[in-house]
């Protein structure tokens, strides 16, 4: 399984103030326990007060039909059940291929879609769009669950899922136990703040009995990135940075080369602006600068989230080298989500979005 390093903001999906400092990838800060009990369709942890415990539950039987049609997938030669998936909260065993998937995170939703499946429901919050741009049309008619305040356990149970996929929404072991009592549940796969999207697709390939389809989906995205890198060798060594300009007097700037938002650009051969990285003396992955210091955003490519501000009112922004060169990108909230929590659908979308700026940078390097 690919374990390329990714570290990013779990708080991104809960607030418009994205790219602000969360600054800790200690897994203990994300989960109350990392030693959850084994779970299967016939055995699920009981509700506890954050301490893992194992109890026997009734078998989860998937209904024979759904309000949303799920494309049929031919059984792969390598598909074998039972399949056991190890994850941060323990392990989950599947005796048969699940048919009713509920996704509680955009990354998992996109992984399901990339596998040619359609979830019976997906969860989002008030801060998120109904569908992200790269999901356009793919979730039409699919039930949307409101997770703005907390996980709606009763709503999820009423959907009769036989697979629940979740990441940041699970605050502790108790949340996980409540979900796994409804249906077999896969939580965060590893100890990073954001799971690599290709690990999620690989896991789904095993769970759905079609690892070949997962390999193909991963390969297609990796090929897209590799093609751009090969077409634009001038990107090698070019610098980038991302900043969240919060109205008032604070600019949060990414200073971690292993941040989720950095992954795509690293694969293209670019490097996070060393001058910004050097400012991160506390090694928390974010630095705060004032609006008077906007000139520090001197990378070849600069991505900014303006939070509704008129760029013409931000002193010094127009004078940035990237703005002069046409390589300053004004990202929208959805774009930042796609960068910070990459998915097999968001990566190709973002490649298309930033391609004009990449072309410009590569051309200047070739001159």
288: confidence class by pLDDT, cuts 50, 70, 90: very high
Cβ-based neighbours of 101, under 8 Å, separated by 6 or more = 70, 112, 117, 119, 120, 161, 162, 163, 164, 165
For the question of whether the overall pTM of this predicted structure is more than 0.75, the answer is: yes
Whether a cis peptide bond, with omega within 30° of 0, leads into 360 is no
**pLDDT higher than threshold 90 for residue 258:** no
What are the distances in angstroms from CA 126 to CA 123, 150, 156, 194?
10, 12, 18, 21
Using one digit for the tens of pLDDT, what is the confidence trace for 90-127?
A: 999 999 999 999 999 999 999 999 999 999 999 999 98
Return the bridge partners of 40, or none.
Answer: 43, 93
CA angle (22 as vertex; 307, 254 as ends), nearest 5? 60
Looking at residue 134, what is its pLDDT? 98
Looking at residue 69, what is its pLDDT? 33
The residue among 304 and 38 whose pLDDT is bigger is: 304
Query: In the β-sheet with 163-165, what is the strand arrangement from edge to edge?
Result: 143-146, 121-124, 101-103, 163-165, 185-186
The residue among 256 and 40 whose pLDDT is bigger is: 256
Please answer whether residues 44 and 57 qualify as being in contact, where contact means their C-beta atoms are separated by less than 8 angstroms: yes
Q: For 226-237, what is the mean pLDDT?
A: 98
Q: For 33-54, what is the mean pLDDT?
A: 34
Using one digit for the tens of pLDDT, what is the confidence trace for 163-211?
A: 999 999 999 999 999 999 999 999 999 988 889 999 999 999 999 999 9
Which of 48, 7, 4 has the alpha carbon at shortest distance from 26? 7
The residue among 343 and 261 whose pLDDT is bigger is: 343
């Amino acid at each position: 399984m690919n374990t390329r390093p990714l570290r990013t903001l779990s708080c991104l999906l809960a607030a418009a103030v994205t790219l602000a400092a969360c600054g800790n990838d200690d897994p203990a800060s994300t989960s109350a326990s990392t030693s959850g009990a084994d779970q299967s369709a016939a055995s699920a942890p009981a509700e506890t007060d954050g301490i893992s415990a194992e109890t026997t539950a009734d078998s989860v039987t998937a209904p024979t039909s759904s309000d949303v049609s799920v494309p049929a997938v031919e059984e792969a030669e390598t598909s074998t059940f039972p399949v056991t998936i190890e994850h941060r909260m323990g392990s989950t065993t599947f005796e048969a291929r699940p048919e009713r998937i509920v996704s509680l995170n955009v990354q998992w939703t996109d992984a399901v879609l990339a596998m040619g499946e359609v979830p019976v429901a997906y969860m989002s919050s008030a801060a998120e769009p109904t569908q992200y741009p790269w999901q356009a049309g793919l979730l039409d008619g699919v039930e949307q669950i409101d997770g703005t305040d907390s996980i709606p356990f009763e709503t999820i149970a009423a959907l009769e899922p036989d697979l629940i996929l979740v990441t940041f929404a699970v605050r502790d072991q108790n949340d996980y136990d409540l979900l796994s009592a409804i249906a077999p549940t896969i939580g965060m796969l590893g100890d990073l703040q954001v799971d690599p999207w290709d690990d999620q697709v690989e896991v789904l390939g095993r769970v759905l009995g079609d690892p070949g389809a997962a390999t193909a989906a991963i390969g297609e995205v990796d090929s897209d990135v590799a093609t751009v890198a090969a077409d634009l060798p001038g990107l090698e060594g070019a610098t980038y940075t991302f900043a969240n300009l919060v109205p008032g007097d604070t600019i949060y700037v990414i200073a971690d080369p292993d941040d989720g938002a950095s992954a795509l650009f690293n694969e293209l051969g670019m490097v996070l602006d060393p001058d910004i990285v050097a400012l991160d003396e506390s090694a928390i992955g974010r630095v705060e600068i004032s609006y008077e210091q906007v000139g520090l955003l001197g990378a070849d490519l600069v991505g900014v989230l303006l939070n509704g501000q008129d760029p013409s009112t931000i002193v010094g922004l127009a004078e940035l080298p990237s703005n002069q060169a046409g390589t300053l990108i004004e990202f929208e909230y959805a774009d930042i989500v796609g960068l910070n929590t990459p998915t097999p659908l968001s990566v190709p979308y973002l490649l298309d979005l930033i391609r004009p700026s990449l072309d410009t940078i590569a051309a200047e390097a070739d001159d």
